[in-house]
Structure 1
Amino acid sequence: MSATSGSTSDTTRTRRRLATAGFHLGAGTLSALWLLPIALVLVTSVRTFDDIAANGLGGLPHSFTLDGFRQAWVDGGQQRALINSMLVTVPTVLATLALASMAAFALSRYELPLRRTLLLLMLGGNLLPPQILLIPVSRISETLGLYDTLYALIGVQIGFGVGFYVFVLYGFMRSIPVEIQQAAVIDGASPWQIYSRIVLPLTKPALAALSALSFTWIFNDLLWAITVLRTDSRMPITASLIGLQGQYVSMWNVIAAGSVIAAAPTVAVFLRFQRHFVAGLNLGAVK
């Protein structure tokens, strides 16, 4: 019996080892395939045009230069485009989260009429495909005199983002014990004091995760930028990449350098808030 038991145990351990090795092999292969295009872009960005023309995009690099970054940054207008992106992204993230946190606080901590209906409307608005709203949004911005301005893009991003953030923050704030609020009311705290001094500090993990997510979404947006903007000097960096490709056509080192510049801010934000990204996957899960 003991010999049979030992043989079964060895077989189980062997199977587990094989399963673990297979998992790591598969995960490593998928990771390599995912990282390969990124590595190709990085290598291409530091090669010269003559090197790429002579050896091809997939060939081994025979040169190293940062001139592609200079051309993309100065001649290609990436500097101006990056400033435009930051002028849109930072105020939008701050304004959207401020509005969403106040709305979520009111909906989660007080018995407001039609509370569930409002939440469903906010969530339903985010389920609409943006393509069917392109023409209405463009016409509205023209009517308001905001077309081809960064204010129009900021307004659109706030309008389409606040509903989702309210829904997420609502679930997080609902998990905060009501006894904390009741104790603050007994001490004479006003609703604004409860929101700013008690609930908001407790919601910092959720706000940090949403800040990183919203920064990535807004900074990388292309659809709304080309819908409400027309002048090249006002385009954010994602839209400027299209112009960069048209300007330099086959100069892949410049185009790759522009792509690296465009990706750098979001990568930096992700690395800074990566643990909040993981925590953000569970936001709103607690009823």
Structure 2
Amino acid sequence: MFPRPVQQVSAPARIAYQIALPVALFIWLLPLLGVAMTSVRPPADLAAGNYFGLPSAIAWSNYAEIFQNSPIGQYIWNSFKVTIPTVIGAVAISCMTGFALGIYRFRANIVIFFLFVAGNFVPFQILMVPVRDMTVKLGLYNTTTGLVLFHIAFQSGFCTLFMRNFIRAMPPALIEAARVEGVAEWKIFLHVVLPIMRPAIAALAVLVFTFIWNDYFWATVLTTSASTQPVTAGLYSLNGQWIAAWHLVSAGSIVAALPPVAMFFLMQRHFIAGLTLGAVK
């Protein structure tokens, strides 16, 4: 039923696997390698049509130029102002909704859970016009607050699904033992459930941080100015009015990718533990 471990297959299959794996890895990393090379390519190389060859020189000055001659620092700060409150809000809400839907048994449990999950199946392009009109009417268009509130609302469905399933896998005896001792429900949530949920919270925080930081669609739909645009939408401003400065855009892309990569490595142990917790008994 399941694929056999590579150590148990025939010798020709193992050789083919050992050859195909680095080839597939190289193909997967090729776009990233291309962006990295372009980020240190001198402008003269691009003007001469040297897009895919080795750079004639290593132009580390491209990274200095994007900070000196563009507001990329403001764009990165805007991304943090949007991403961090969204992560806190979405994870906090999903912990409470996951606890309520995972622990308590009531008639509308499945209906409410379905309403949370159903939003994930709606194509976000359909929501573009109504969400934009709603933010304009509420005075939240082109504001960090509007972008944060929308992301929290949109991410709560996936986060609730994640947390509810995690809590349902917890041993019910833990909750029942606390209730027998007369512990209030809110104290059970704070002192019994939350400490056990730490790996899941860490894993979910990394996922949501990556989702929101890399968002481009809603960043361009709901923001227009450099004072509010996240870095994904602001990278386009690195191009000149008449000339496409791809070396600067590539350098800005590498800089923009560093925070989620750094967060993943900082939270790697908790992230892996959260994804694999409950996989085996």
Q: Same fold (TM over 0.5)?
A: yes
Going from structure 1 to structure 2, the CA distance change for 1:223 and 1:285 (only over 3 Å counts) comes to farther
The AA in structure 1 aligned to 2:111 is T
Going from structure 1 to structure 2, the CA distance change for 1:254 and 1:247 (only over 3 Å counts) comes to farther
Going from structure 1 to structure 2, the CA distance change for 1:127 and 1:15 (only over 3 Å counts) comes to closer
The AA in structure 2 aligned to 1:162 is S
Aligned residue among 139, 145, 150 for 2:144: 150
Aligned residue among 253, 256, 272 for 2:266: 272
Instruction: Please identify which structure carries the higher helix content.
Output: 1
Normalised TM-score (structure 2): 0.90
- State the partner residue of 1:72: 66
The AA in structure 2 aligned to 1:60 is L
SS of the residue 2:224 aligns to: coil
Structure 2 runs not aligned, ≥5 long: 1-6
SS of the residue 1:153 aligns to: helix
Q: Spell out structure 1 runs of 4+ moving beyond 4 A.
A: 275-286
Structure 1 runs not aligned, ≥5 long: 1-12
Going from structure 1 to structure 2, the CA distance change for 1:30 and 1:163 (only over 3 Å counts) comes to same
Aligned residue among 103, 112, 122 for 1:128: 122
Aligned residue among 6, 17, 28 for 1:23: 17
- State the partner residue of 1:34: 28
Distance across 2 between alignment mates of 1:128 and 1:285: 29
- State the partner residue of 2:221: 227
CA deviations 1:162-207 (Å, max 9, x no partner) are: 0111111101101111111111122221111111111011111111
Alpha-carbon distance, 1:54 to partner: 4.0
Going from structure 1 to structure 2, the CA distance change for 1:113 and 1:284 (only over 3 Å counts) comes to farther
SS of the residue 2:175 aligns to: helix
Matched, 1:43 2:33: no
- State the partner residue of 1:108: 102
- State the partner residue of 1:207: 201
Task: Please identify, of 94-103 and 263-272, the stretch whose mean Cα deviation from structure 2 is larger.
Answer: 263-272
What is the root-mean-square deviation in Å for CA atoms of aligned residues? Answer: 2.2
CA deviations 1:1-31 (Å, max 9, x no partner) are: xxxxxxxxxxxx9972211111121121110
Normalised TM-score (structure 1): 0.88
Matched, 1:82 2:96: no
The AA in structure 2 aligned to 1:215 is F
Identity %: 37
Going from structure 1 to structure 2, the CA distance change for 1:112 and 1:247 (only over 3 Å counts) comes to farther
How many residue pairs are counted as aligned between the two chains? Answer: 274
